[in-house]
Structure 1
Amino acid sequence: MTHPFDLTTTPSPAGPGVYTLNLLPGWGQGRALFGGVLAAAATRGMTETVGDPARRLRSLTVHFCEPAAPGEAELHIETPRAGRYVSHLTAKVLQAGRVTTFASATFGLDRDAVMAHLDAPAHGLGGPEDALEVPMGGLGFPEFTQHIQYRFAGQSVPYGGGALAEVNLWMRLAQPRALDLPALVALLDAGPPALLSRATGPIPMSSMDLRVQLNGALPEEELGAGRSVLLTSRCRWAGSGYADQDSALWSEGGTLLARCQQALAFFQRG
């Protein structure tokens, strides 16, 4: 049986640079479709267009331009430049002729280089077995959260009224599936906004864009079916209805998989 995530994020070729998507119900986020599945679909389409597993995704930027809805959509892929080592691609998801999502990505081959550096202290939050499982649907969170199991690590939780605007949580797909690149991209957008840990009641929020940096080859042996990843997120500024967020995604084995910066909008009336 095909996994629900694959059913709604796998593009079907429809012509040169054009694919069709069947965006299924069950992945809602308020009045829109969950942006993570749109980002995942764009990632799939661009990766397929590159057609070279050695030319790995290095960075991805996704803009959520207007709400998408369940149903048919088109995915348009272009390659502005493909050089010896690096390829630059763009993707657009369209419904009724309107752009709902715009993405750009950089893919690159490994280079011969002596220097290497990693400034990423261990998160110190324990493993998923040490964290508190919370059924997100029971907290009034979006429809798409039914597809993900959430376990909160640390002291901060949404609507906890805490001093820090941060959220740390372990996530895995409710229906087991290996965590490949599209799944990881979706999970980077699947956590509750860090700012909500300062709140004491619901505040509608949505991602306007996200910018992902990948850290080399994925450790596939740490990302098999049923494995979890840890998302650590922190908001350092919010005001005038907007907020920023810095996140990191870790494997159970402690490997830093990706980093993400997001711009969010929130809707709070006095």
Structure 2
Amino acid sequence: MPAFDQAIALTSIGENLYGGATSAAYANMVGPFGGVTAATVLNAVLKHPALLGEPVALTVNFAAALASGPFTVEARPVRTNRSTQHWVMQISQADENDQASTVLTATAVTAARRETWSVDEEPMPEVARPDSVARPNMAAMVEWVKRYDIRILEGQIPVVWNGAGNSSRTTLWVRDEPERPLDFASLTALADVFFPRVWLRRATAVPAGTVSMTVYFHADGAQLGSHGTDWLLGQARAQALRNGFFDQTALLWSAGGRLLATSHQIVYFKA
């Protein structure tokens, strides 16, 4: 089983309840990589026997970092309509007093999609192909970055932390490593591969962490299936960095130019 599938693996332990455990392969500075945690809570929805349709939107609120070890995911459908379904989820984990403590809350919308008129208003930028872009040296960074093949076209992590940054935009090619067919769970994690925008805009390595992340899925399962293990082009930027928080918008296109997902985050940073 690929490392990603091991990391998001869940076992049914009761009605609306699943058991999981953190994976050292996706360790971050504090707790696991947020993208894989978001993918895990979405996986609980995807495994649920009452699921209607496919994911349209996912919002994850990181109340605290997951500690290494087991945790419990609750995924509950709170309303089901003819074509849409609304979900409430949470992850809990035993604290130092062996009491269940909530570390993540989330909501999701799934839907039975139908064919309609469609257009991508945000075109994929014209960029160099990934095989012509060198891999950045990220070996000394946190463990989870080793699970992705990343080729940065613009907006590299600063080499010199001198406070002289002037842009928050990063454009990169990315795919799972080892290669893995794209699906809703892996697309969720890929939406979070961008390092904190404040590092780039300020060129200062300040503490930062995502507080809330929303992913909108613009592709259905068949479209993701046809993507296979090909590259994704991702682009992320901040709109405002102020009073200890900044936002981050990210877009993910298929190699063929189809917009597959967009993501929005609010991130805490320490001045």
Residue 14 of structure 2 corresponds to residue 25 of structure 1: no
CA offsets 1:105-164 (integer angstroms, 9 cap, x no match): 101112464x434311231223212333113233xx32211211211013x212264421
> Corresponding residue for 1:224?
228
Alignment of 1:198-213 (within 5 A): 198-213=201-216
Match of 1:169 among 155, 160, 172: 172
135 and 50 in structure 1: CA distance in 2 versus 1, 3 angstrom threshold: farther
Q: Give the AA of the match of 2:101.
A: R
Structure 1: any 5+ residue segments left out of the alignment? none
Cα offset, 1:28, TM superposition: 1.6
> Corresponding residue for 1:127?
129
Task: Provide the alpha-carbon RMSD of the alignment.
Answer: 1.9
Cα offset, 1:88, TM superposition: 0.4
CA offsets 1:199-254 (integer angstroms, 9 cap, x no match): 334222111111111113152355323x2212100111001111001110111111
Structure 2: any 5+ residue segments left out of the alignment? 95-99
Cα offset, 1:22, TM superposition: 1.9
- Contact kept? 1:167, 1:193, Cα under 8 Å: no
For residues 138 and 9 of structure 2, what CA distance do their matches in structure 1 show?
26
Match of 2:181 among 178, 181, 187: 178
> Corresponding residue for 1:4?
3
Q: Give the AA of the match of 1:146.
A: K
Q: TM (normalized to structure 1)?
A: 0.90
> Corresponding residue for 1:38?
37
> Corresponding residue for 1:142?
142
**SS of 1:110 mapped into structure 2:** coil
Q: Give the AA of the match of 2:177.
A: A
> Corresponding residue for 1:93?
91
Q: Give runs of ≥4 in structure 1 deviating > 4 Å.
A: none
> Corresponding residue for 1:252?
255
Residue 111 of structure 2 corresponds to residue 108 of structure 1: yes
Q: Number of residue pairs matched?
A: 261
**SS of 1:32 mapped into structure 2:** coil
112 and 150 in structure 1: CA distance in 2 versus 1, 3 angstrom threshold: closer
- Contact kept? 1:20, 1:74, Cα under 8 Å: yes
39 and 255 in structure 1: CA distance in 2 versus 1, 3 angstrom threshold: same
Q: TM (normalized to structure 2)?
A: 0.90
244 and 56 in structure 1: CA distance in 2 versus 1, 3 angstrom threshold: same
> Corresponding residue for 1:153?
153
112 and 201 in structure 1: CA distance in 2 versus 1, 3 angstrom threshold: closer
For residues 129 and 183 of structure 2, what CA distance do their matches in structure 1 show?
20
- Contact kept? 1:91, 1:102, Cα under 8 Å: yes
Cα offset, 1:45, TM superposition: 0.7
51 and 230 in structure 1: CA distance in 2 versus 1, 3 angstrom threshold: farther
